[in-house]
Amino acid sequence: MSALLEVDDLRVAYGKVEAVKGISFTVEEGEAVTLIGTNGAGKTTTLHTLSGLLRPAGGSVRFRGEDLAGVPAHRVVALGLAHCPEGRHIFPSLTVEENLFLGAYLRKDAPGIADDLERAYTLFERLRERRAQAAGTLSGGEQQMLAMGRALMCRPALLMLDEPSMGLSPIMMRKIMDTVAELRRTGTTILLVEQNARAALALADRAYVMETGRIVLEGTGTELARAESVRKAYLGED
Amino acid sequence: MTATELTQLLADGLILGSMYGLIAVGYTMVYGILQIINFAHGEIYMLGGFGALFVYAWVPGLRAIPLWAALPVLLVVAVAVSVAAATGAERFAYRPLRGAPRLAPLISAIGLSLFLQQVVFNFFTLPGSSMGVTAPVPFPQFETAPLDLAGVQVSVAGLLTLALAAFGMVALTWFVRRTRTGRAMQATAQDPATARLMGIDTDRIIVIAFAIGAALAAVACVTQGLRLGTVSYNMGFITGLKGFTAAVLGGIGNIQGAMAGGVVLGLAESLASGALPHIDALAMFSGSVWKDVWAFVILIVVLLIRPQGLFGERVADRA
Ligand SMILES: Nc1ncnc2c1ncn2[C@@H]1O[C@H](COP(=O)(O)OP(=O)(O)O)[C@@H](O)[C@H]1O
Ligand SMILES: [Mg+2]
């Protein structure tokens, strides 16, 4: 049985500059995997390549056994790979509910969509209150909830979250990370990119550490949280 | 000047302006999604009129029936010709230049404009005449006398213009706000990369935006032909420029703004040629020669006061 997501020797370049220099990792069904690393390590570039917004310079990505080479972004999501982008990227002049429905853009099963809308509102009650409001008027934390809710609306086999806690108040950060933990508990497979390494390692089954385009460490969440190099570099301890 | 004369000028301006508005929508939709100005849109408009004229001249059955009965056929053919030209332009003149510097699609558009004009100039043929059209050619006319509404004269073609513009705007607003594809279009305009993450085929959305703009422009050209009685191979140049002005006036990227900008422009033009002669100090700057000047004066004044246009959002709201 192969992994849900298999990334093999992936390389990605912007022009001549290689931002991702041959990384390999896997995500198994039901797992929460985190990719941590400092700013500029290549985490966002990696996720953009997985979802088809960027084309790799080399290597391969297999999702559910299918080679993603040449599959355009709008078809990748149809395969069950949802990408909740860094910086939230909600559609500001559409309402909260219209944003959520766009997450289910490719689905035709109206009853299933209604169920998932209800699930998103149960997960984030705040969104229910603001369902008819333009998304651009939400606070940063609410926008993050909306971006996550929207990504869940395609009922993904793998949910990729890029820095969901970025720029949020400590309380909001807690709420978002708790929700990620809850999604993981209820069986959603997650690939989490975070700069908040402590929170990410606490909830992940396995973790990879990225530095300047390469994976330099990997292990279980608890292993890495204990590793001395990680504690110094990413957890701010000495 | 009497109240009736003024009302007449306003009615004429409203009709002219709603025709400009129909053209303006095409500029604004393409700009809203791609941030390019499709300067070939004036020629897309012109081709619609020639498409309609072509079937009218070559299909004998159409001239045997009343014009109002033939009109649906003329409109359908006009729309088909303009949509074919616009989607072809998108595919071969604009899409290959995505990601190129802004100037590249602009130059491509100018080349395309000249090309389309020359195609009509050299090859459009009416029965019994030689190939090519160098001068304005007659367009079918309604023979019904203008309606008299309390002294204000409105032609059948003028009423038709208003009705088609109103219908077009209601239908388009409903499409953009209420349908799945319309929401995908809004999403694509606001954030194309994220739209793709939702599963939206943004290339397809772009084609649809070009097609809708072309369809409305084709309708505009048929109404213009019906009102003025002629079409010419170069009619898209100045009228296209007016449509573009209307789009900028209304706030480029804003669909309802484009129609409003068209109406403002039409009223301004009508008043400039009809009302200014009655104001002594400005009489020398009036008449049809000056009306285009006034149209652009209005544009400049509005942009000085509101750079985002009358109904435009600030760029930050769209980001
Ligand atoms: N659009 C881009 N064009 C050129 N270089 C980029 C672009 N986006 C990111 N980079 C570069 O690629 C590297 C990796 O960036 P990124 O993937 O955003 O890192 P991370 O998400 O880990 O912070 C950085 O050096 C960054 O400057
Ligand atoms: Mg990043």
> Which residue has better confidence, B101 or A89?
A89
**Residue B317 pLDDT more than 70?**
no
Tell me what percent of the residues of chain B surpass a pLDDT of 90: 80
Tell me the CATH number at A52: 3.40.50.300
Distance CA A156, CA A146 (A): 16
Whether pLDDT at B313 is above 80: no
More confident residue, B285 or B148: B148
Residue A159 backbone dihedrals phi, psi, to 5 degrees: -105, 120
A159: helix, strand or coil: strand
Same domain, A135 and A191: no
Predicted pLDDT at B274 = 83
- Is the Cβ–Cβ distance between A156 and A63 less than 8 Å? no
DSSP string, A184-201: HHTT--EEEEES-HHHHH
Q: Mean pLDDT, to the nearest integer, of B20-35?
A: 96
Contact A77 B199 (CB under 8 A): yes
Size of interface A-B (CB pairs under 8 A): 68
Cα of B173 to nearest chain A Cα, Å:
14
Of A45, A46, A163, A209, the residue with max ligand 1 atoms within 8 A of its CB, to mutate for a pocket test, comes to A45
Q: Which of A168, A5, A139, A186 is nearest to A83 (CA)?
A: A5
Looking at residue A15, its pLDDT comes to 93
The pLDDT of residue B316: 38
Instruction: Please report the pLDDT score of residue A237 as a whole number.
Output: 65
| CA separation for the pair B29, B233 (Å, rounded) | 25
- How distant is the Cα of A122 from the closest Cα of chain B, in angstroms? 22
In a domain, B149, yes or no: no
- Whether B189 shows a pLDDT value over 90: the answer reads yes
What integer pLDDT is reported at residue B282 of this predicted model?
Answer: 79
* Final residue of a structural domain among A107, A135, A155: A155
Helix (H) or strand (E) holding A161: strand A158-162
pLDDT along chain A (238 residues), means of 10: 91 96 97 94 98 97 95 97 98 97 97 97 97 97 97 97 95 94 95 92 94 95 82 71
Q: Same domain, yes or no, for A60 and A168? A: yes
Distance CA B44, CA B29 (A): 15
Same domain, A116 and A178: no
B196:A52 CB<8 A: yes
- Residues A75, A28 share a domain: yes
Between A137 and B316, the higher pLDDT residue: A137
| End residue of a domain, out of A105, A140, A155 | A155
Residue B34 belongs to some domain of the structure: yes
Which of A155, A187, A214 corresponds to the end of one domain?
A: A155
Strands A81-84, A158-162: pairing kind: parallel
> Does the residue B153 lie in any domain?
no
**Does some domain include residue B133?**
no
d(CA B275, CA A64): 72
Residues of A in contact with B177 (CB under 8 A): none
* pLDDT value, residue B314: 46
Do A65 and A168 fall into the same domain? yes
Predicted confidence at residue B14, as pLDDT, reads 98
Average pLDDT in chain B: 93
Q: What is the dihedral of CA A53, A57, A58, A64, to 10 degrees?
A: 10
Instruction: Specify the pLDDT at position A160.
Output: 98
**pLDDT for res B147:** 92
Nearest CA to ligand 1 atom 21: A44
pLDDT for B315 equals 43
pLDDT at A238: 58
| pLDDT reading at B29 higher than 70 | yes
Which pairing describes strands A32-36 and A58-63: parallel, antiparallel, or unpaired?
unpaired
| B318 and chain A in contact, CB less than 8 A | yes
Q: Residue B293's Cα: distance from chain center in Å?
A: 19
A73 touches chain B (CB under 8 A): yes
Same domain, A6 and A61: yes
Note whether residue B280 is domain-resident.
yes
Give dist(CA B128, CA A112) in Å, integer: 64
Between A231 and B308, the more confident residue is: B308
- Judge if A76 and A168 occupy the same domain: yes
* Total domains in the fold of chain A: 2
In a domain, B162, yes or no: no
Domain that holds residue A114: 84-155
Give residue B252's domain range.
12-126+168-305
User: Is residue B283 one of the residues assigned to a domain?
Assistant: yes
- Same domain, residue pair A76 and A161: yes
**pLDDT value at position A229?**
76
Task: Show residues of chain B in contact with A136, CB under 8 Å.
Answer: 317
Token couple for B157: 């073609």
pTM (2 d.p.): 0.94
Residue A160 alpha carbon to ligand 1 centre in Å? 18
Q: What is the CATH number of the domain that holds B220?
A: 1.10.3470
Q: Are B157 and B223 in contact (CB under 8 A)?
A: yes
Average pLDDT over residues B80-88: 98
- Which residue has the least CA distance to atom 2 on ligand 1? A14
Name the domain count of chain B.
Answer: 1
Looking at the fold, whether A190 and A216 belong to one and the same domain comes out as yes
Q: At what angle do helices B3-34 and B41-58 cross, to 10 degrees?
A: 110
- Determine if ligand 1 sits within 6 Å of the CB of residue A49: no
Q: Are residues A146 and A215 in the same domain?
A: no
> Are A135 and A194 in the same domain?
no
Among the residue ranges B170-179, B218-227, B282-291, the one predicted with the least confidence is B282-291
